[in-house]
Structure 1
Amino acid sequence: MAIWQSIPSTPFYIVIVIALIVCFYPEKKISLIQNFWMQLRVIVFILALIVLMPMFGGQSAVGLKPTEPIFIIVLIVSVFQLRMQYKRAKQQVAREKEIEEQLKKTKK
């Protein structure tokens, strides 16, 4: 598309980085489950950009394409990392519920 050639690249990258920070920066300390969902949003956003930008006529300056083996490896590692994070978050939620139930029993 001709619009991408007319936009200066450095300010465009700066705006994208600022937008990512504003969209995904936590305002306070967050729990593991909230951290998991935030990481999932960021990863899905980045992967969607990598997949969708070539469909709209964009080309990677570093040669990163969804068909490259390194992309698939990064995708697999990301899935495993998110899976482990989700399990830890679920364990934290279960521990918090258990502590809450114990506190209720001791108050009675």
Structure 2
Amino acid sequence: MNIFKLLSGLLGATLLMCFDFYQQWTIWKVFPNIAWMIVGFGLLLFSVYTPAIKDRMMHFYVEVVVMAYLIVLMFILPLAGGKSSVGFSVKEPFLWIVILLTIWQLVAYRKRILRQLKDHQKNEA
């Protein structure tokens, strides 16, 4: 199940970022723009759906990989000739603030997971 969440997150991120950076591609004309965005966000939402307590650490790693992948895409897509229609750029300071806040949130989430797992193991013993 976690491989599906990981692939879902990576596919959703790729779809949304390519939709933003390469609006001139003819594939985007196959369906309405809103359909592409719904599919991309749906895939991302599926990948971050919180599982049962025993799978939370794996869920954390899926979130970290998807986040790192998004950052890599923000570096690679402009180098490959793409231009963001909404202004995603590694030179944008607001984007780095969002990335730092996300990293901080992920670190806090990891600590909470480890604490919950430790408490859960104490209760079972």
Tell me, in whole angstroms, the C-alpha distance in 1 between the residues paired with 2:75 and 2:81. 11
Greater C-alpha radius of gyration:
1
Q: How does 1:30-49 map to 2 (within 5 A)?
A: 30-31=52-53, 32-49=56-73
Tell me, in whole angstroms, the C-alpha distance in 2 between the residues paired with 1:33 and 1:96. 13
Q: Structure 2 unaligned runs (5+)? A: 1-21
1:81 corresponds to 2:105: yes
Q: Structure 1 unaligned runs (5+)? A: 102-108
The normalised TM-score by structure 1 is 0.68
Q: Name the SS of the counterpart of 2:25 in structure 1.
A: helix
Taking a change above 3 Å as real, the CA distance of residues 57 and 44 of structure 1, as seen in their structure-2 partners, is same
Taking a change above 3 Å as real, the CA distance of residues 53 and 15 of structure 1, as seen in their structure-2 partners, is farther
Tell me, in whole angstroms, the C-alpha distance in 2 between the residues paired with 1:49 and 1:40. 14
Pairwise CA distance, 1:55: 2.1
8 Å Cα contact 2:48-2:59 kept in structure 1:
no
How many residue pairs align between the two structures? 98
- Residue in structure 2 matching 1:8, options 23, 28, 41: 28
Tell me, in whole angstroms, the C-alpha distance in 1 between the residues paired with 2:123 and 2:66. 32
Tell me, in whole angstroms, the C-alpha distance in 1 between the residues paired with 2:37 and 2:72. 17
